């Protein structure tokens, strides 16, 4: 919700007004160690409260977490905008509007820049090999060959999202430098797979 609001330049309430219920997590992008809120009709919230109690949920002295959540909300626009910029730079790479994979003229993968609106970049994987899971394994692994060629060891954790796509997500703990290293690692892995 907050990423969508920042990307569209509107208040979160403007988006949520069209929903029967809404949940907002305070961790990751907003930076709180834990916590979430749930909003909806009185009946919906009462039932959620009952189910939470049935499942053993609940916290005492949650004020410290609430303070972290409040701070995250107060800084949300700047923090999330930075995450969006890092994701965009990864998708663009040094190749400008063609996307990082296009710079390689790679038949392996592509990124649609039009689809990069927030902190999420979907990488489309083309061809029969490697699969998104195999590509993610190669991005996570560090080899001596990589260290010798690039002078650094970089492990990138991406998620195989579907049969032909993987997902990269930025949050407050991923810096501009991390985004650049991830882009270089993707280019390195794509080149090695083509060889």
CATH of the domain at 179: 3.90.1150.10
Using the 3D structure, point to which of 34, 63, 80 is the last residue of a domain: 80
Same domain, yes or no, for 126 and 175? yes
pLDDT on residue 194: 78
Same domain, yes or no, for 111 and 171? yes
Same domain, yes or no, for 185 and 111? yes
pLDDT on residue 148: 87
Which helix or strand (DSSP H or E) is residue 113 part of? none
Same domain, yes or no, for 133 and 90? yes
pLDDT over 90 (residue 167):
yes
Strands 120-125 and 165-169: antiparallel
pLDDT digits (tens, 9 = 90+) for 92-135: 874 444 445 544 456 788 888 889 999 999 988 887 788 899 99
127, 115 Cβ separation under 8 angstroms: no
Rg (CA), the chain: 20
pLDDT over 50 (residue 29):
yes
The two three-digit tokens of residue 91, written as one number: 């998708």
pLDDT on residue 99: 46
Same domain, yes or no, for 71 and 167? no
Same domain, yes or no, for 94 and 173? yes
Using the 3D structure, point to which of 31, 53, 80 is the last residue of a domain: 80
What's the structural domain count of the chain? 2
Same domain, yes or no, for 103 and 69? no
Which helix or strand (DSSP H or E) is residue 84 part of? helix 76-92
Using the 3D structure, point to which of 80, 104, 124 is the last residue of a domain: 80
Same domain, yes or no, for 99 and 186? yes
Same domain, yes or no, for 41 and 119? no
Mean pLDDT calculated for residue range 18-44 = 90
What is the value of pTM for the model shown? Answer: 0.82
- 76, 81, 84, 88 alpha-carbon torsion, rounded to 10°: -170
The CA-atom distances, in angstroms, between 122 and each of 83, 143, 186 are 15, 25, 13
Range of the domain at 96: 84-193
């Amino acid at each position: 919700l907050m990423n969508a609001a920042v990307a569209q330049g509107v208040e979160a309430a403007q988006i949520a007004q069209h929903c029967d219920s809404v949940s907002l997590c305070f961790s990751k992008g907003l930076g709180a160690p834990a916590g979430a809120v749930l909003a909806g009709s009185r009946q919906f919230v009462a039932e959620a409260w009952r189910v939470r109690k049935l499942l053993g949920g609940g916290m005492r002295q949650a004020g410290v977490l609430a303070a972290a959540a409040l701070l995250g909300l107060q800084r949300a626009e700047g923090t999330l905008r930075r995450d969006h910029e890092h994701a965009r730079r990864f998708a663009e790479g040094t190749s400008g509007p063609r996307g990082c994979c296009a710079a390689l003229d790679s038949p392996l993968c592509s990124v649609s820049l039009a689809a990069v609106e927030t902190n999420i970049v979907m990488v489309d994987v083309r061809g029969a090999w490697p699969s998104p899971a195999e590509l993610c394994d190669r991005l996570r692994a560090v080899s001596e060959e990589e260290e010798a060629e690039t002078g650094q060891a970089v492990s990138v954790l991406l998620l195989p999202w579907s049969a032909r796509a993987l997902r990269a997500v930025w949050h407050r703990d991923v810096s501009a430098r991390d985004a650049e290293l991830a882009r270089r690692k993707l280019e390195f892995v794509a080149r090695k797979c083509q060889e």
